[in-house]
Structure 1
Amino acid sequence: LRFPQKLWRMVESDRFPSIWWSEGGRCIAINEELFKEEVLGRAGPPRVFPAMKKMKSFIRQLNFYGFTNMKRDCQRSASLPEFLAEEAAAS
């Protein structure tokens, strides 16, 4: 799966409390410290993003796909309306 599909599945899953839809579902919110531990720091399978070990790499991928960073209360969130539209069309 490509990055956007993996991201979508991760945000939709209850398995990763470090990343979720913001209120209203227009942004992805990330608890950065927990995300580093449970997603990027995971040693064994199944690793969601096998090649990524640093938050900087994850943020770079978000930026590559057009997400923008919005800092609020020490958490990161990213928004991309096309991401929501694309996933809605695929469902």
Structure 2
Amino acid sequence: MHDLTGFQRDLLYVIAGTDEPHGLEIKDELEEYYETEIHHGRLYPNLDTLVEKGLVEKGEHDRRTNWYRLTRRGKRELTARAEWERQYVDAVPEAKTA
């Protein structure tokens, strides 16, 4: 995970939180989060990188639509990342409300 971009990590989180999403589902989720358009030229090469790294598996719904899901390794890496983040997030003092 240390060699992934933040965008690639976000892709993993979206894939983990949905049931075999296709590319446009992932794109829609990220556009909502980033509040900006995600171009296909950014999305699909990054998904392919995650597949090449063995973190994501890609299959076909039909001839035009692929689905994505985390591999075992992808799940382990995402869990390890969440635990690493938690140690720092839990150390942040809660904000006091007025």
**TM-score, with normalisation over the residues of structure 1?**
0.47
Higher CA-based Rg: 2
**TM-score, with normalisation over the residues of structure 2?**
0.45
- Whose strand proportion is higher, 1 or 2? 1
